[in-house]
Amino acid sequence: MHDSFNELNAIDDDQSNTVFRDVTLLALSGFVAIVLLLLPWLNLKTKQELIKEPVGSVIIELFWPKDIDADLDLWVKGPNDGPVGYSKPSGVVFNLLRDDRGLTGDYTPLNYEISFTRGISPGEYQANVHLFKHDANRSKIQATVSASLVTPDREYRKQILEKSIYLIKEGKEKTVLRFKLDNNFKLISGSVNSLRKSLIGGM
């Protein structure tokens, strides 16, 4: 009697497993069929198509030593736009992505600010550095500004300029880089200079 009961249970288990497998297989087949039907309407872009989209930008970066508790501000200006900095973080051309105040409220050791453009326009670009708050333990602070390009036809960015300066007096603003780009996103020869032009006063 027990043997017959065990045999019936085994048969029931086999039938349950078969039904479960069949239902799972049918559900999977239905899902695959739906995906195949929707493929022609999916807007899938190739890597090449993504690269060709207008993602070009000018990137301006400011670095100063990580052990210095000083607040340096990066101010930038693009063609046909106003100055962009900590008190005006976005403009028509540039956006300030990171405003670093030294060690104040900063949980990373890096002293670093960055601004970037939405696209590349021909014309003059400018980068200034303002010593907002000096480190009382330092007589002077070295700051480095770099300019890079990410052109629409490239997968990588290329640094085109870099310059280091020293800041001594709190409140002092220095013009570090001025340069021009042509219609082909190329640096115009002879356009690079550091002629002083205030951006804070131009707001």
Classify each residue of 92-126 as buried b or exposed e, where b means 16 or more C-beta atoms within 10 Å of its C-beta: ebbebeeebbbbeeeeeeebbbbbbbbebbeebbb
Place of tokens 């453009």: 117
Mean pLDDT of 164-191: 94
Q: What is the pTM of this model?
A: 0.70
Whether the predicted pLDDT of 203 surpasses 50: no
Question: 16 or 62, which is more confident?
Answer: 62
Q: Which residue has the higher pLDDT, 78 or 137?
A: 78
Residue 19 has a pLDDT of 63
Q: What is the pLDDT of residue 41?
A: 56
Count of C-beta atoms within a 10 Å radius of residue 160: 17
Lowest mean pLDDT among 23-27, 117-121, 169-173, 182-186: 23-27
Two tokens at 199?
Answer: 């951006």
- For 42, how many CA atoms within 13 A lie in the half-sphere containing its CB? 9
Q: What is the pLDDT of residues 26-43, one digit of tens each?
A: 777 777 667 666 656 555
Place of tokens 């050791």: 109
Tens digits of per-residue pLDDT, 85-134? Answer: 999 999 999 999 877 776 666 667 788 999 999 888 999 999 999 998 88
Q: Where are the domains of the chain?
A: 2-41, 50-181
Q: What is the dihedral of CA 125, 131, 133, 137, to 10 degrees?
A: 140
